[in-house]
Structure 1
């Protein structure tokens, strides 16, 4: 699959009063996964989506189960859908990287982030160029199957 998997560590301070990772910190995990997947510099120092300007236009987050602090990293799977003229959607799942270690597959979060390529000098969105489209195509994938209905 062309998904990108990032293994990210949680921090003790990511927990809130309810003893699980706070929703704001979950957004930070998703941001870190995007930064790692898109990179800050491309091959031979060529600019990437992050270097040429990208802003977040929308987040949608489904919290499926509490994510408790632990020292083992969590996995963030990331892929791209719906590439438009200037925008694209990044889908993410925060999940257990080693299901046998915990006895079952666990998905903690499913999220979607709409990103827009942006020209900061002009102060407006800009069209994705062919190199950016190629990079996004390398991370393209289908949506995950819907979870089974519960009764």
Structure 2
């Protein structure tokens, strides 16, 4: 499991005082980008940063997230790994601790993408090993 800390911004709030749906999707992106781009790049896997597209997205809300200046914890786990896609599961807590209330659960299906050819590509064995090593073992 990968743990990301993200900070909702004042502009993420809706009229009801909690994080807006579209902004929650952005926070999910902010949680996965350091893993897929930064950590993968440091591991010698630069292709993720060159092209990765969201194929499917599902978000389920359990409680509102209020913008109060603190970070929120996002646990990211590998739910499925195929040859040309991966599914990430997210557990978003209302605060920075694992014990904080689960406010959102979500899932994204991602596919590596060749921008130059405008076509999806297959994951390399090295990329698959990185994803397995870094993300498996989380509670579902």
TM, length-normalised to structure 1: 0.83
Equivalent residue, structure 1, for 2:96? 97
Asked whether 1:130 is paired with 2:125, we answer: yes
Indicate yes or no: 2:106 matched with 1:107.
Answer: no
Cα distance in 2, alignment partners of residues 39 and 118 from structure 1? 14
Q: Is 1:34 aligned to 2:42, yes or no? A: no
CA shift for structure 1 position 105: 3.6
CA distance in 2, matches of 1:75, 1:105: 9
Distance 1:142 1:9, change over 3 A: closer
* Residue 137 of structure 2: aligned partner: 141
The partner residue of 1:62 within 53, 60, 63 is 60
Q: Which SS does the other structure have where 1:29 is aligned?
A: helix
Count residues with an aligned counterpart: 137
Contact 2:36 2:49 in 1 (8 A): no
The secondary structure found in structure 2 opposite 1:117 is: strand
TM-score by length of 2: 0.89
The CA RMSD over aligned residues, in Å, is 1.8
Give the distance between the partners of 2:100 and 2:8, measured in 1 at CA.
19
Q: Deviations over 1:105-139 (max 9, x none)?
A: 40010000000011112211111001110111121
CA distance in 2, matches of 1:83, 1:75: 24
Paired with 1:31 and 1:49, the residues of 2 have a C-alpha distance of 17
Going from structure 1 to structure 2, the CA distance change for 1:141 and 1:135 (only over 3 Å counts) comes to same
CA distance in 2, matches of 1:98, 1:90: 20
4+ long deviations beyond 3 Å = none
**Native 8 Å contact 1:64 1:108 kept in 2:** yes
2:111 equivalent to 1:116 = yes
For structure 1, the residue ranges without an aligned partner over 5 or more in a row are 145-151
* Secondary structure, aligned partner of 2:19: coil
